[in-house]
Chain A
Amino acid sequence: MNNYLEVKNLSKSFDNFRLHDISFTLPKGYIMGLIGPNGSGKTTTIKLILNMLKRTEGEVKILGLDNIADEQAAKKSLGVVFDSNYFSDDWKVSQVEKSVSVFYENWNTQRFSELLDKFHISPAKKVKELSKGMQMKLMIACAFSYDAKLLILDEPTSGLDPVSRDELLHILSEYIEDGEHSVLFSTHITGDLERAADYITYISYGELFFSGGKDEFVDSFRIVKGGREELSDDLGKKAFGIRDFATGFEALIKTEDIKLFAHLNVEPATIDDIVVFTSKRGEQYE
């Protein structure tokens, strides 16, 4: 099995929000970033994958297993990290292991204690005494101790300092190094993904905007800059959002349209640029 996560035509309707027709595939051995502004549907997508929400339509396969019909089997090889910890505050780290390990036949106690050492987490500490970064690492240590093949992280970096964020990225690159593990990582701090992610799935207003290779994603857009008088109607039509100000403008365009605007200052776009400009688009026409 080469795809660790397959999401097909996933949809979910709420009273005031709709996630519509989301499809993407994460092959084994890679990191995928799930991006989009707050409220775009990232967490809904993850909750649907975990069957915490009931989908209206679509299909999800985790390691080739249906996420509802084979839920238990799929979850044996699935690790999840949420933005805050899901253990009892009053548990000591050693109690976390005792409580959770029974659920996994392949739990490796030695590996757990090695990971605690590596992450500098004392087994005698209570969960509530750990920093946010430590709590995140504790969740990861648990997932690694039963050798989860797929790790899903929902906004793990929000509220983390730069040091912890860097550590997380390092942990994740080590995790996929052997080519046998994959990561789905949702975040609105796209800087985290700029280098380490292999694939990007970008959800905007509940709809899939892009899913594919990160380099391809970033390469397919350019930022053009110029003076206000250079802001033509043609550019207005081609651009994904324009920011104009007293002394000039910036706009996001498709790389394929670059010939049309060769006279302007053209720069590579960052993931952030793409998200910011494409999200503004909707507002512009309101």
Chain B
Amino acid sequence: MSNILKSVKLDFSLVRPYVKTICFTMVLPAVFAAINRSLLTGISFAMCFIAMTSGYTFSITEKNDMERLYSILPVRKSELVVGRYAFSIIMGLLALIFSLITHPVILSSLGETVSTFDIACAAAVGIFLFALYTVFQLPGYYKFGSIKGRVFMYIPVAGFLATLFLITKIPADNSGWLITVLSSPVLVLLAAVLVVIMYVISILVSVKIVQGKEL
């Protein structure tokens, strides 16, 4: 097992006692989707919530002074950082998959029609939003810790409100712009490349922060 995978596993065991709470937070977006009768807002909300939980690993390690454990384990600091990003991405993807299954089911039961294309659109938007939130959050937590850096927890909230604002500002029949963006393979590809670049830069920044830290 590579050291990065081991680090991911360690992060999983950190949040294990909080799994129920995290699962519970995934129920609210489903309700929200049902009220709004919109898959897109439901998914945006879900990604906002799961991004808000990305600080859990940081607050648990801070509370228990676990930097000391990290500093005696036979792994590189960079491996621990990459592991934490991988863990956050896995959590994001799990939340996304869960929401992409439950929300359409709920919406269909309410009589809404949800097409595969709608789901694909929501998935792409979800991934993009989640990436956008976490690439700023994680370096923030690394730099300031989860207590001093708790303002970073609210990045997703701001992002969510902005998304909500954008969606409601554009009349439903006029939301064609999003469909245009999402049906263009070039633009989707561009967004994907952007996400990757953002993550790479974010990871590099975090590694730099962690390596410069003295305990």
Which residues on A are within 8 Å of B, measured CB to CB?
47, 50-54, 71-73, 75-76, 78-80, 82, 84-91, 95, 98-100, 102-104
For residue A96, which residue of chain B has the nearest CB?
B13
**B92 → chain A closest CB, angstroms:** 22
Chain B residues packing against A (C-beta within 8 Å): 1, 3, 6, 9-10, 13-14, 16-17, 60, 63-69, 71-76, 214-215
Task: Output the nearest chain B residue to A143 by Cβ-Cβ distance.
Answer: B72
Inter-chain contacts of B17 with A (CB < 8 A): 88, 90
A88 touches B14 (CB 8 A): yes
Q: Which of B63, B71, B73, B214 makes the CB contact (< 8 A) with A103?
A: B73
29 CB-based A-B contacts, threshold 8 Å: A47-B215, A50-B71, A50-B72, A52-B67, A52-B68, A52-B214, A52-B215, A53-B215, A54-B214, A71-B76, A75-B73, A79-B72, A86-B64, A86-B65, A86-B66, A86-B68, A88-B13, A88-B60, A88-B64, A88-B66, A89-B64, A90-B17, A99-B10, A100-B69, A100-B73, A102-B9, A103-B6, A103-B74, A104-B74
Tell me which residues across on chain A come within 8 A of B16, comparing CB atoms: 95
B73 nearest in chain A by CB position: A103
What is the CB-to-nearest-CB distance from A94 to chain B, in angstroms, rounded to a whole number? 11
Closest B-chain residue to A14, C-beta based?
A: B214
- Complex: how many Å from CA A72 to CA B71? 10
* Contact A84/B65 with A52-B214, A53-B215, A99-B10 known, Cβ cut-off 8 Å: yes
A53 (CB) vs chain B CBs: closest residue: B214
Bound complex: CA of A88 vs CA of B214, how far in Å?
Answer: 21
Q: How far is A78 from B69 in the complex, measured between Cα atoms in Å?
A: 12
Task: Please name all residues of chain A whose beta carbon is closer than 8 Å to the beta carbon of B13 when the two chains form the complex.
Answer: 88, 91, 95, 98-99
B68 close to A72 (CB less than 8 A): no
Kindly list chain A residues whose C-beta atoms are within 8 Å of the C-beta of B68: 52, 80, 82, 86
**Distance A51 CA – B71 CA, assembled complex (angstroms):** 8
B30 to chain A, nearest CB (A): 28
Look across to chain A and name the residue whose beta carbon is closest to the beta carbon of B11. A99
Question: In the complex, what's the smallest C-beta–C-beta distance from A283 to chain B, in angstroms?
Answer: 30
Q: Say whether chain A's binding surface is mostly helix, strand, loop, or mixed.
A: loop
Nearest Cβ on chain A to B50's Cβ, whole angstroms:
21
* A72 & B64 in contact (Cβ 8 Å cutoff): no
- Supposing A99-B9, A102-B9 touch, asked if A89 and B74 sit within 8 A by C-beta, the answer is no
Q: Which residues of A contact B67 (CB under 8 A)?
A: 52
- Given the complex of chains A and B, what is the CA–CA distance between A200 and B142 in angstroms? 38
- A residues in contact with B3, CB < 8 Å: 103
Set of chain B residues within 8 Å of A52, measured between Cβ atoms:
67-68, 71, 214-215
How far is A85 from B69 in the complex, measured between Cα atoms in Å? 9
Residue contact A72 to B6, C-beta cutoff 8 Å:
no
Picked from A73, A75, A90, A95, the residue with its CB within 8 Å of the CB of B72 is A75
Measured CB to CB, the closest approach of chain B to A39, in angstroms, equals 17
* Chain B residue at smallest Cβ distance from A72: B74
A72 adjacent to B72 (CB under 8 Å): no
Report how far A75 CA is from B17 CA in the complex, Å.
29
Min CB distance B145 to A, Å, is 16
Query: Which residues of chain B are within 8 angstroms of A51 by Cβ–Cβ distance?
Result: 71
CB < 8 Å: which of B66, B71, B75, B76 contacts A87?
B66
Chain A residues whose CB sits within 8 angstroms of the CB of B73 once the complex forms: 75, 100, 103
Chain B residues closer than 8 Å to A72, beta-carbon distance: 74-76
Q: Which of B17, B64, B75 has the most CB of A within 10 A?
A: B64
Does B215 lie within 8 Å of A86, measured CB to CB?
A: no
The answer to whether B64 and A103 have CB atoms under 8 Å apart is: no
Minimum Cβ distance to chain A for residue B64 (Å):
5
Shortest B15–chain A CB gap in Å is: 10
Nearest-neighbour CB distance to chain B for A72, whole angstroms, equals: 5
Complex CA–CA separation, A99 to B67 (angstroms): 15
Query: In the bound complex, what is the Cα–Cα distance between A171 and B82 (angstroms)?
Result: 37
Q: Which residues of A contact B76 (CB under 8 A)?
A: 71-72
- Chain A nearest CB from B82 CB (Å) reads 15
In the assembled complex, how far is the CB of residue A81 from the closest CB belonging to chain B, in whole angstroms? 10
Q: Is the CB of B72 within 8 A of A87?
A: no
Q: Which of A53, A76, A86 contacts B69 (CB 8 A)?
A: A86
Question: Most chain-A Cβ atoms within 10 A of its Cβ — which of B9, B10, B16, B69?
Answer: B69
- Alpha-carbon distance A81/B60, docked complex (angstroms): 20
**A80 to chain B: closest residue by CB:** B72
Across the interface, which residues of A come within 8 angstroms of B72, CB to CB? 50, 75, 78-80, 86
The chain A residue sitting closest to B13, CB to CB, is: A99
